Amino acid sequence: MSGNERPAAADRSLDRAVTLSQLLFGVSVLFVVVVQQVTEAATQRPGAFFLGVVLTFVGCGLAVAVPWHRFGRNWTAVLPAIDIIAIVCLRFAAPSLGAGLLWIFPVIWLGSYFGVIGASAGVLSIFVLIVTGAFLTGDPLTALTIPSFLVLPLILAAVAASSVSAARRSAARHQLLHSQSRVLESAMIRARRQENLLADVLDAVDFGVARVGADGSVVAMNDSHTRIMAAAGRDIFATDAPDAAASTELYAADGIDTIDAADAPLARVRRGEEFAGMVVWVGQPGRGAALSITARRLSSGPGATNEGVVVVTRDVTTELAAVRARDDLVASVSHELRTPLTSIVGYLDLARDEDLSEGAERYLQVADRNADRMLGLITDILAASTAGDGPVELTIDRRPTDLASIVAASVESLAPRARESDVTIEAGGIRELHAVVDAFRMRQVIDNLITNAIKYNRAGGTVTVELAEGIESGLDSAVDSAVITVTDTGTGIAPEEVPRLFERFFRSESVRGSSVHGSGLGLGISRDIVRRHGGELTIESALGVGTSATVRIPLEDT
């Protein structure tokens, strides 16, 4: 309710209350007149009786005709004053009718509207009028008649006190209700403002948000949801028909397998399921739209009934196309690199068959070994590009191997690179330890970890390499394990980026704009290798402190 409406409502309330109070008194006087006429009670002073009736109905006319709100509440005291005089006339004209009881009406009026002052003035004036009337009629004041002069004023005083008390309680309740109304109105305004703000925010984001009710119908949605569904060709959450989910074919994330109607997003939402990142192709892959859909159930609190599901939709068509283009580029480049590398390896083998000096033979061995390693890495990159988001398919040939020799060989081969970067490699913590592993793959893992520790270190920094025996706790029992730790004193990684280090092609923000090159594949492939050995690779890092990589693999083939 606005500020202009409140005074108008208060004005109507005042006029209505005045009219109702006066008409009630008028009806009571009319009842007295009817009784007088029916019973033919003696009227000692007909003129006074007639004057009392006229004053009563004049007051009723004024109550109806006058807009009291324009004069203020105090002017309404005129009406109970007229009523008091009218009752005096009726009582003076016909004492036997008991018209004096009608004084209750003006007393209640005065007590309710004007409080203690109004009630006191009313009772006192009535008492004065009773005494004055007694002198005018010549009624003697004796010990027997004095109580009759006091009883009616005392009763009226009690009624006035009750009306004052009731009026105060009513005013207090009205004030409380008014305060609560203001609080409720403020709360409603804030809620409406927050609702509008939320609607504006949801309409501003570039992902679709829709609320699906318990019956499967879309209750509310933002503009982005409508736009995304329009771009996809149709709203896959529309319920115009029972088979709406199957009206256009939906494909899985691979773009090959179709999604059954029972497994479509709408069907899963109707069953109240929760899911995250469900990728769906609407229409033919490459020509349709790819949507990433997340659904979460809504609940208003503990023990609450199902409030429906909120569905968040993103258009990932461009992202998937970029990932596919990236994988195609990586695969193409890797194929192009593998062909000349194969030729290099072949000619190195031919060269080693010749009669060479001891130094030349040693140099060719190093070149041949590194060419083989590079060829293996390119093969892994090809495997990563074809594996998508799944684990890389690797060939693991596990044999009894001295892990210490693998770690030492890796440290020795990377020592020149460390010296070029002004980094010291400390390998005093390498202990002799034998395990059943793929030596080539484990060398690949250790090379990657030490290379990273050198690349992302600072000038004058240190790389500490340790190999020790530990206990790996499995689900069924504890087994002996090898623990390889590579710790550096480099730049470190932000805590929020650590979980993403194993994502393919991911590079942290701190090195993305630096001159340090990298593909972002090494750690992901290394973890796949360690997991194929039944172990785990973990990374701990802190910005400005350094990074520690730990490899745990069982000593025996499990």
pLDDT digits (tens, 9 = 90+) for 218-245: 878 888 888 888 877 777 877 654 444 4
Output the average pLDDT for the chain: 78
CATH number for 322-387: choose from 2.20.25, 3.40.630, 1.10.287, 1.10.3470.
1.10.287
Alpha carbons 156 and 104: distance in angstroms, whole number: 6
Closest by CA position to 85, among listed 174, 158, 25:
25
pLDDT at 353 exceeding the cut of 80:
no
The string of pLDDT tens digits covering residues 470-484 is 754 333 334 588 999
Domain residue ranges in the chain:
5-180, 208-315, 322-387, 399-554
Q: What percent of the chain has pLDDT over 90?
A: 9
Cβ neighbour number for residue 482 with a 10 Å cutoff: 25
3-state secondary structure of 226: helix
Which residues, 6 or more positions from 272, have their beta carbon under 8 angstroms from its beta carbon?
297, 306, 309
| Residue bearing the bigger pLDDT, 188 or 557 | 188
114 and 72 in contact (C-beta within 8 Å)?
A: no
Fold of 399-554: Heat Shock Protein 90 (3.30.565)
424-430 and 250-251: which strand pairing?
unpaired
The string of pLDDT tens digits covering residues 279-333 is 888 877 667 788 889 988 877 655 555 678 888 888 888 887 777 777 777 777 7
Give the model's confidence band at 515: pLDDT under 50 very low, under 70 low, under 90 confident, else very high.
Answer: very low
Q: What is the CATH number of domain 208-315?
A: 3.30.450
| Residue bearing the bigger pLDDT, 502 or 413 | 413
Alpha carbons 552 and 101: distance in angstroms, whole number: 103
User: Hunting for tokens 């699906």 — which residue is that?
Assistant: 212
pLDDT at position 4 = 47
Give the model's confidence band at 550: pLDDT under 50 very low, under 70 low, under 90 confident, else very high.
Answer: very high
Show the 3-state SS of 164-181.
HHHHHHHHHHHHHHHHHH
pLDDT at position 478 = 45
Q: What is the pTM of this model?
A: 0.45
Helix (H) or strand (E) holding 323: helix 317-352
Give the model's confidence band at 2: pLDDT under 50 very low, under 70 low, under 90 confident, else very high.
Answer: very low
pLDDT at position 242 = 43
The string of pLDDT tens digits covering residues 65-80 is 888 878 877 888 888 8
| Residue bearing the bigger pLDDT, 131 or 207 | 207
Indicate the range of 54-63, 88-97, 113-122, 504-513 predicted with least confidence.
504-513
